[in-house]
Amino acid sequence: MSLPYQLLVFDWDGTLMDSESRIVTCMQAAARDAGVEVPTAAAARDIIGLGMAEAVEQLFGRPSADLAEAIIDHYRRHWLSDSLPPAPLFDGARDLLARLDAAGYLLAVATGKSRRGLDHVLAETRLAGHFVTTRCADEAFSKPHPQMLLDILERTGMTADQTLMIGDTEYDMAMAANAGAHSVGVSHGVHAPDRLLRSGARACFAHLNELSCWLDQAGVSPLEKESR
Which active-site residues does the annotation give? 11, 13
d(CA 164, CA 228): 26
DSSP for 5-71 reads -SEEEE--BTTTB--HHHHHHHHHHHHHHHTSPPPPHHHHHHTBTB-HHHHHHHHHTS--HHHHHHH
153 contacts: CB under 8 Å, gap ≥ 6: 7, 159, 160, 163, 179
- In terms of DSSP bridges, do strands 7-10 and 182-186 run parallel, antiparallel, or are they unpaired? unpaired
d(CA 115, CA 109): 11
Q: Are 182 and 8 in contact (CB under 8 A)?
A: no
Q: Which amino acid is present at 44? A: A
d(CA 201, CA 11): 14
